[in-house]
Chains A and B, each alone.
Chain A
Amino acid sequence: MGRYLIRRALFMIVVLFVVALMTFMIFVKLPSGDPVARAVGRHPSPELVAQVREKFGLDESLPVQFWRFARGIVPLPGYWLDEDVYFSYGNRVAVKQEIALRWPVTFALTVGAAVLWVAIGVPIGIISAIKPGSFFDRIATLFALVGVSTPVFFLGLILLYVFHFWLGVAPSTGLPRDETVLESVLQGRFVLPWLSLAITSAAFYSRITRTNLMETMGEDYIRTARSKGMSERRVIGRHGLRSALTPLVTMFGLDFAFTLGGAVITEQLFALPGLGAYAIQGIYTADYPVVMGVTVFGAFFIVVANLVVDVVYAALDPRVRYA
C-alpha cells in the first residue's frame, strides 16, 4: 500500500501538470479577454503597456510563462501557488490568500449539500428498491425526474423566491461581514444553497441506489442468505447495501471533490463568497492566475478524492488490494 500511495502521489503531479497545461492553452489559444487592457486604461502609452505586461509576466515567452505557472502546482512550501506568479491581475491579491479565505465557504456549502444529497437520495433509493412499483416508488421516480431535470440555477431561484421573498422563513442571500462561516451555517444561511445544490444529486443518487440495490437483491448470495433464515433487514443491511453502495462511494468521492472545486452557480445565486464565485469572476476578467489557481486547487482535490475513494474501496471490498 505504501508504494501504491507514493505512485499515486507522483501521478498526482502529472495530472496537475496536464490540467495546468490545458488551462493555460485555453487562455492562450481561445479568444478571451486581454487582462492588460483592463489595467492600462483607455489610452495607454507604449511604455505603460510594457510596464503592465512586465508586471503580469506577460512579456515572457509562452513556455516561460507556463513554466512559472507550472512550478506553482507542486504542493510544497515555496512552490505551491507561488505568490509572485499567482496573484490576481485585478486586485493584486495573492490567489493563495483568496483561496484560503474562500475555501471554508465552499467547504461548508459542499459538506452540507453532500450530507443532504446522501441523506435524501440513498434512503429514497433504498425504499424504492424494497418496494418497487409502490406509490412511494412512483413518487420517488417523479422526484428523480424533476430533480435531475431542473437546473440548479432555476431550483435555487425558486427556493429563494418561495422561502425568502414570499414566505419570509429563510435568510436572504450573502453572508454578513461580522459572522464566521460556522456562525452563518448555524444561522441557517446555507440551508437554501444546500437544498438547491443537493436536490439534483439526491435525485440522481436515489435512482442509482435503487438500481444497484435491486440488482444486488437478485444475486444468488442474497437468495442464499434468505434461505438460511436471515431476517430481511439483515439481508438488505448486511449484504445488499454493502455491494449496492460500493459504486456510490466512488461516485460520492468524485462528486464531492467536483463540488468542492466550486459550486459556481449556487455561490453566485446566493452571494456566497466561495471558490466558484472567485473562479467565474476570474474568467470574466481574463484573470489567468486566478483561474489557473482555482483550477489547480480543484484538480488537486479531485485527485486526492480519487485516492481516498480507492483506499476506501479497498477497505469495503476485500478482493481489492493495492501493491
Chain B
Amino acid sequence: MTKALRAVALVAVLALVGVACGGADDPVEDTETTAPGAEPQQGGTLTIAMDSDVTATMDPQIEYYQLPFAYFRCCLLRTLYSYNGLDQDQGGIEAFPDLATGEPEVSDDGLTYTVTIKEGLMYAPPLDDVEITAEDFIRPIMRGYTVGGPYMNYYDVIEGAAEYAAGDADEISGMRAVDDHTLEVTLTEPIGDFEYRWAMPAAAPIPPNPDDQNAPFGVAEGHDESYGPFLVATGPYMFEGSENLDFSAPPDEQEAVSGYRTGRSMLMVRNPSWDQDELRKAYVDQIDVSIQPGAEGSVLEKQVANDEFDTVFSNGISPETLQTFQSDPELSDQIHMHPSFGNYFLSMNLAVPPFDDIHVRKAVNYAINKEGWRRFSGGEVSGSIATHFTPDSLLNDLLTDYDPYPTPDHTGADSEEGLAAAMEEMRQSKYDTDGDGLCDAPECEGILTIGVVGTEAEAADALIAANLEKIGLGVDLRSLENSAAYNRIFDPKNQVALVTFAGWLMDYPDAYTFYWFPNYGGNILSQYNTNYSMIGATPEQLEEHGYDASIQVPSMDEKIEECIAATDDARTQCWAEADQMLAEEIVAYVPLIISQNVQIHSSCLTNYQWATFDSQTAFDQVAKVPGCND
C-alpha cells in the first residue's frame, strides 16, 4: 500500500473512530411502565421538538400562536379563568376558575363584572414572597395596549380602554382593584364570553416591581420588546434560572433567564411556589423544548419513534410517518388525531360579479367536490368534511346533521346529482342569460382567484377550477407564495373574487371568534382585512375600496350583535342560527373541511391526554415512564 493511500485510510479510520467515540445515545432500556389504573408517577423530563419558533419570545401580551398559548396555559401562567387540559368530553373547552375563586358576579345590566381572587397564591421566584393581587390583573391589559398586543381588541369592550389605547388617559377607568382580592371590570356593552377573554395569556397577572413600585407595568417595565425572557411565572413551572432574575437593575441591564435561549431552547422547571391546582396535574419535573426552525420533519418524527423526543410540534405529520405509526402495533397507540377548532373554506367576494348573485353562490356550493379537495389536501387525516362554517364543537353539536347543499359523498359537480343541483341553482341567476344552467354573462369569465403555490394546493385549486367550469364559471387562477397571497387578499381594493385557501381558527372556544372578524361589516379594514367576502359592506365602504357602490351586499351584523350579548344556552343557539344564516342567506363561503390535528409521541409517555383547547398533547397532564429516555 503506498504511503498516500495509507494516509487516506488513516483519515477514514480517524473519522469513524471519532464518530464512534462521540457515541450514540444509549439505547432505551426496558423500563417498568405504570401499572394500569395506577396514579401516574411524578418525575422525569418531557422533551419536545418544535420545527418552528414562537413568534414573540414568549411575551404573553404579544404572542399569538398556538404553541406558546399551550405553554402559557399548561405550565407558566395562571389566569383568572383557564382550561383543564382535557378532551372536550371532559370539559376541555370550558373556562374554569383558575386564579378566581368562582364565576364573576355580574350586574343586572351585564356591564360590571366583579371577580374574587384566590388568597395566598404567590408568584414564582424571585418573587415567591409576593402575593398575586387584583392590581396585578390591570397591568397586563395596560401593557398589552402599550406594546401593541395583536389581540387587545378583545379588551376594547372595557370602559376606558379606547381612551387609554389612544393615549388620552393614564389608566383604564373600567378596571379597578376594589381591594387586594377583588377586581372590578366595567364594560361598555354586555358580552357573554367574559371568562374566555380573561383566560387568554394577555390577561395573565404581572407582579409589581419590588424595587420600583411606581413602574406601571411592574417587572415588565422596560421590556416592551420582549418580556418573555424575564417572565415571572404563576403556573406549575417556570423558566430555569428564574430565581436569578434581578429586577433592581435597570431593564436594559437585567439578565434574561438562563432557561430560555431565544430561537434555540426552553427549559421549564418546577415552580416551588405552585401547589396543586384543580386544572393541572404537572407530573413531569421538567419540560425541555428544542426549537429547530426549518428542521426536517421526517427526522424529528423518526426521533419521536426512537424515543429521542417525547413529542414534536410541527406543521403536520408526514404521510409516511402516519402510515408507520398506524400500521405498527408497537406504535399505533402513540398517535392521536383530534379535530381542531379550525376550518378551510372557499371565500367568494359578494361585491364582485358574478358573486353578487346569491344563486351563483349557491350553485358554487353545490358544485365544489369537497371530498376531492380533501383528497388533494392530505386525505382523511387532514380533517372532516365541513357542511357549514362553524365547527360543531363550538355549537354544542346543534348542527351536526346540517348540510344545506348536500351532494352524493360530497362530490359536488363530479356527481350527476350535484351537477344537476348546481345547474338548477344557476338557472335562477341573472348571469345565466339563456337558462341552460351555465353562467354565460361576461362576468362569468376571468374571475380573479387567488391560491397558494404547492403541489397539493395547486392540485386542489385545479379541481376547484374544473368544478366551476362545469357551471360556466371561468377562473383566472393566480397561485402565489403564501405571504404574497395573503398580501393580496388582505387589501380589499384588490377586489379578489375568489380565495381558495381561506381558513379560520378560534382564539378561544366561543363562536364569537368565528364571526366578529371575518363576517362583521364593521370590521372591514383597509389593511389586513380578514372579511374577504366583504360581508355587510355598506355602499360607503364599497365606494371607499373601489367597488360598485350600487351592489347590495347582505349583512349579518345585527345577528352577530345579538349573539355577542347572549349568554349560556341562548348564546349557543344564537350562534347556531347565525351559522345557518351564513349558509343560506349570506352564502359567502363554501366550507371545505374542519381541520384535524395529529400528534405522535414516544413510548415514554403515560397518562396521555389531548388538550382540546391547546389542540395538542396536554403537557400538564401527561406523565413519564420512570427512567425512560431521561
Contacts and interface: CB of A to CB of B under 8 A. Distances in A.
B525 A92 contact: no
B299 A189 contact: no
Given A31-B480, A168-B24, 4 more contacts: A42-B150, A161-B302, A177-B267, A188-B23
Interface in B254-313: 261-265, 267, 288, 290, 292-296, 299, 302-303, 306, 308
Contacts of A187: 22-23
Contacts of B165: 47
Given A165-B302, A165-B306, A271-B290, A45 B296 contact: no
Interface-centre pick from A123, A160, A164, A286 (highest chain B CB count, 10 A): A164
A37 B150 CA distance: 10
A28 interface: no
B305 to A, nearest CB: 9
Nearest to B223: A92
Given A168-B27, A172-B303, A127 B295 contact: no
Contacts of A43: 151, 153, 516-517, 523, 525, 528, 530
Given A34-B486, A177-B265, A281-B53, A52 B27 contact: no
Interface-centre pick from A174, A273, A280 (highest chain B CB count, 10 A): A174
A157 interface: yes
Contact of B294 (A52, A192, A280): A280
Contacts of A79: none
A304 B296 CA distance: 33
B7 interface: yes
B53 A123 contact: no
Interface string A91-133: 1110000100100000000000000100110011011001000
A36 B272 CA distance: 39
Interface stretch (B12-20, B82-90, B112-120, B172-180): B12-20
Interface in B5-64: 5, 7-8, 11, 15, 18-25, 27, 53-57, 62, 64
A57 interface: no
A284 B481 CA distance: 11
A91 to B, nearest CB: 4
A311 to B, nearest CB: 29
B15 A44 contact: no
Contact of B166 (A47, A116, A192): A47
Interface string A25-41: 00000011110111111
Interface residues of A, number: 68
B249 interface: no
B486 A37 contact: yes
B22 A188 contact: yes
A313 to B, nearest CB: 26
A170 B22 contact: yes
Given A52-B148, A91-B57, A269-B296, A170 B11 contact: no
Contacts of A130: 4
Contacts of A55: 148
A241 interface: no
A98 B148 contact: no
A277 B294 contact: yes
Contacts of A273: 263-264
7 contacts: A39-B150, A91-B57, A92-B225, A120-B11, A123-B7, A173-B295, A177-B264
A31 B484 contact: yes
A49 B56 contact: no
A171 B26 CA distance: 10
Contact of B150 (A33, A44, A286): A44
Nearest to A94: B225
Task: Please tell me the size bucket of the interface on B.
Answer: 35 or more
Contact of A163 (B19, B149, B226, B265): B19
Contacts of B327: none
Contacts of A286: 483
B22 to A, nearest CB: 1
A186 B293 CA distance: 25
A188 B189 CA distance: 63
B18 A188 contact: yes
Contacts of A120: 8, 11
Given A44-B527, A47-B165, A127 B4 contact: yes
Given A90-B55, A123-B4, A169-B24, A37 B528 contact: yes
Nearest to B25: A172
B487 interface: yes
Contacts of A41: 64, 149-151
A170 B296 contact: no
A233 to B, nearest CB: 9
Contacts of A90: 53, 55-56
B196 interface: no
B15 A116 contact: yes
B57 A281 contact: no
A164 B263 CA distance: 25
Sorted nearest first, the 7 A-B pairs with minimum C-beta distance are A188-B22, A41-B150, A33-B483, A92-B225, A31-B484, A91-B57, A281-B293
B107 interface: no
A174 B528 contact: no
A92 B263 contact: no
A160 B306 CA distance: 13
**DSSP class of B's interface residues: helix, strand, loop or mixed?**
loop
Nearest to A38: B55
Contact of A92 (B57, B302, B528): B57
B490 interface: yes
Contacts of B455: none
Nearest to A189: B22
A273 B22 CA distance: 19
Given A43-B523, A52-B148, A32 B484 contact: yes
A176 to B, nearest CB: 9
A299 interface: no
Contact of A171 (B23, B480, B527): B23
B214 interface: no
A158 to B, nearest CB: 12
B526 interface: yes
A191 interface: yes
A180 interface: no
A45 B153 CA distance: 8
A11 interface: no
A268 interface: yes
Nearest to B27: A168
A46 interface: yes
A89 to B, nearest CB: 10
A120 B158 CA distance: 69
A170 B62 CA distance: 40
Contact of B292 (A47, A136, A170, A271): A271
Nearest to B14: A119
Contact of B24 (A40, A123, A171): A171
A91 B19 contact: no
A254 interface: no
A278 interface: yes
Interface-centre pick from A38, A98, A173, A284 (highest chain B CB count, 10 A): A173
Interface string B477-491: 000111110110010
Contacts of A231: none
Nearest to B146: A51
A51 B22 contact: no
A5 interface: no
B477 to A, nearest CB: 16
Interface in A173-195: 173-174, 177, 186-189, 191-192, 195
A173 B23 contact: no
Contacts of A174: 290, 292
B265 A91 contact: no
A314 interface: no
Contacts of B53: 90-91, 281
A9 interface: no
Contacts of A51: 148
A46 B226 contact: no
Given A49-B527, A157-B296, A286-B483, A42 B517 contact: yes
A92 B53 CA distance: 13
